[in-house]
Structure 1
Amino acid sequence: MRRHVLGVPLLLGLLYVTGPAPAVHAADAWTAGPAAGGGTRPDSNGRPYFYLQGAPGTVFEDTLSIVNPERTPRTVTLRTVGARGAWIALASRQVRVPARTRADVPFTVTVPATAQPGDHPGTLVAAADGREQRTEVRLRVSGPTLAALSVEDVRIEDGLIRYALVNRGNTTLTPRVAVRADGTLGGELLRREPREMQDLAPGRRAELAEIWTDTPALDRARARLTVTADPGVREEATATATFVEWGPGLGLGGGVAALLAAGGLGIVRHRKRAAQETCAAQEEERG
């Protein structure tokens, strides 16, 4: 639904909606977040972020509440960050919140008529007394959406399995990552059940790592990452590494020889199994 932008004078006139702050401990500091009762997707604890959805050209209105439970006034500075910060217009960039009151700061989000469908995240940042509090503005522009994800730069090094996740679509994804590593000698070396990662906005790249401290002393390992996300995204990527732990009785030649022996043993076992299967087939034909 299209909404009209409020004029700046009216916005400024609505800036303060004062009232008693919630009961808090004396040590609690000021907070900033979505005003109660507005927008969509509220939960039992209120709105953890702003969620807005509409077609290109829509103008949304919402309110950021700043609560000061302390006994002294606080001056809070506001700004926007992210690629879509330019779409957000705040009624004021600086707000003085009296002691034990709340200040409501209206703002608008204007979606350009040329905006592409999909998710366009932004962030409102409130700063005072040397600290910041960030509130997400999750904006979805109506239209065809594409969920796509890639797993890149997988490598095993320094007790870590490093990798990157890249959101190649136009919707925000919540990836789930499962990890498994198998060795030539030791079978399954590592298994991690799928765990949920932080949301990944369209076009974003996240550099991540899985801790793997109990790596084998002597083996060639292959790690496999399986990444899934709703709706219907599934990607896999692998990396290999050779582990040789040097010691008094094992030099370079010994380590290489051991790995070659392991590989040779695998070949011998494979050939022996194939020969056994061939003999069994010939006996069946004779019978």
Structure 2
Amino acid sequence: MPVLHTLIRLGVPLLAAAALHTVPAPPAAAASAAAPAVSAPAVSAAASAVFAEEPGWSAEPVSGRAGSAARPYFYLAGAPGTVLEDRLALANTTDQEHTVTLRGADAYNTAGGAFAVRPARESTGAGSWISFGAGTTVKLPPRTRAVVPFTVTVPSASPPGDHPAAVVATEAGREVGVRVHLRVSGPALAALTVEDVAVRGRGAGRVVAYTLVNRGNVALAPQLAIRAEGRFGEVAGRAPRAVPVELLPGQRVALTEPWPGAPVLDRVELTLTVTAPGGARATAAASVWCVPWGIAGRTGAGLLALGATTLAALVLVRTRRSRRARRGPPDAPAPVRAPAPEHELTGASR
């Protein structure tokens, strides 16, 4: 089984961390028996239409009260040393029997910010506090619904804050996960940092890369704002907006933000400000050069070609001069001797 198992909720999306702070905890259901309660074929045609997708069965929290709306996740809260109770509903929408295995799992953020769960052998945190007793393996007859009670035993030495976990149902390598928001009572600290700010890409495809680290003990729903100041004045940044990540306690995620307003040519001072409910706030700055690399590349290539041509001409001239120096000065022409004068014979005695 792979190390990373991204949670899949059939028909119900995962909620952001803000819901963790605003949705009240539903009343805990009494654990009547360790074995699951399997009802007769009770899955209606409407329910079948909602959940009729692979792997042919679904898992979701049992509603807190009769007639109340379905819960998208479990919310449990208690002091260290307490035992919390809730119930999971499994529905088989097919005409075949399914055998589903249940377990608890620790939850974490992947490097890109996705919500994922750890395999059983690596779940040593809140996932290991979840127990299904004798109901770990459940046989689901065709068109039936089973209600499985489980408990969460909070260790007495558990630190306060959020402890992300999930209930994972598995059959033949296919998994369905239900989020567990578990909070241990005590002081809550919302704190984060923003690090490793850089600009990547070119032109309109430039993005601002950064890393968020949750330094507190509660899950955060951060907001990001970008301010950009160039040498020629303020340039377009990014107005505050929600980051599409729920940042779990102690987790680090690497993210990017589009920067379509980046200048063509300027040196820009970027300031990133990240905030989150609970008073968390962090800033980070970086200096970046925005250069039109296409024009700069063509100009550089032209200058390089001109420089190469000039260098080749200089080398040619020096080579010719060197050859002339080795041959020495040209040979002097041989002296021309004047012919001896001829005596004129006149017949006169000398």
Which TM-score tier does this pair reach, normalised by the shorter chain? 0.7 to 0.9
After superposition, residues 61-100 of structure 1 pair within 5 angstroms as: 61-82=85-106, 83-91=125-133, 92-100=135-143
Q: Which stretches in structure 2 are left out of the alignment for 5+ residues?
A: 1-27, 107-124, 305-350
**Is the 8 Å Cα contact of residues 224 and 275 (structure 2) preserved in structure 1?**
yes
Q: Alpha carbon RMSD of aligned pairs, Å?
A: 3.0
SS in structure 1 opposite 2:299?
A: coil
Instruction: Return closer, same or farther for 1:143/1:164 CA change in 2, 3 Å cut-off.
Output: same
CA–CA distance in 1 between the matches of 2:178 and 2:277? 24
1:56 aligns with 2:56: no
CA–CA distance in 1 between the matches of 2:132 and 2:84? 12
1:36 aligns with 2:59: no
What is the TM-score normalised by the length of structure 1? Answer: 0.75
Instruction: Return closer, same or farther for 1:212/1:129 CA change in 2, 3 Å cut-off.
Output: farther
Query: Aligned pair count?
Result: 245
Q: What is the aligned partner in structure 1 of residue 285 from structure 2?
A: 238
Q: What is the aligned partner in structure 1 of residue 7 from structure 2?
A: none
SS in structure 1 opposite 2:147?
A: strand
Deviation at 1:204, TM superposition (A): 1.5
Q: What is the aligned partner in structure 2 of residue 174 from structure 1?
A: 221
CA–CA distance in 2 between the matches of 1:213 and 1:94? 52
Deviation at 1:218, TM superposition (A): 2.0
1:11 aligns with 2:34: yes
SS in structure 2 opposite 1:249?
A: helix
- Amino acid of the structure 2 residue aligned with 1:113: S
Which of 296, 299, 303 aligns to 1:249? It is: 299
SS in structure 1 opposite 2:128?
A: helix
**Is the 8 Å Cα contact of residues 77 and 94 (structure 1) preserved in structure 2?**
yes
**Is the 8 Å Cα contact of residues 172 and 200 (structure 1) preserved in structure 2?**
yes
Q: What is the aligned partner in structure 2 of residue 204 from structure 1?
A: 251
Q: Which stretches in structure 1 are left out of the alignment for 5+ residues?
A: 255-287
- Amino acid of the structure 2 residue aligned with 1:33: E
Deviation at 1:199, TM superposition (A): 2.0
Larger-gyration structure (1/2): 2
* Larger strand share, 1 or 2: 1
- Amino acid of the structure 1 residue aligned with 2:62: A
Partner deviation per Cα, 1:230-255 (whole Å, 9 max, x = no partner)? 1122211122211222243356999x
After superposition, residues 259-278 of structure 1 pair within 5 angstroms as: none
What is the TM-score normalised by the length of structure 2? Answer: 0.62
Instruction: Return closer, same or farther for 1:116/1:151 CA change in 2, 3 Å cut-off.
Output: same
> What percent identity do the matched residue pairs reach?
44
**Is the 8 Å Cα contact of residues 223 and 240 (structure 2) preserved in structure 1?**
no
CA–CA distance in 1 between the matches of 2:142 and 2:217? 43
Q: Which has the higher contact order (CA 8 A, sep 6+)?
A: 2
Instruction: Return closer, same or farther for 1:94/1:27 CA change in 2, 3 Å cut-off.
Output: same
**Is the 8 Å Cα contact of residues 186 and 219 (structure 1) preserved in structure 2?**
no
Deviation at 1:57, TM superposition (A): 0.8
Partner deviation per Cα, 1:116-144 (whole Å, 9 max, x = no partner)? 11111111112235532211111111112
Q: Which deviates more, 178-187 or 195-204?
A: 178-187
**Is the 8 Å Cα contact of residues 167 and 202 (structure 1) preserved in structure 2?**
yes
Q: Which deviates more, 140-149 or 241-250?
A: 241-250
**Is the 8 Å Cα contact of residues 104 and 129 (structure 2) preserved in structure 1?**
no
CA–CA distance in 1 between the matches of 2:261 and 2:186? 48
**Is the 8 Å Cα contact of residues 271 and 286 (structure 2) preserved in structure 1?**
yes
- Amino acid of the structure 2 residue aligned with 1:21: V
Deviation at 1:213, TM superposition (A): 5.6
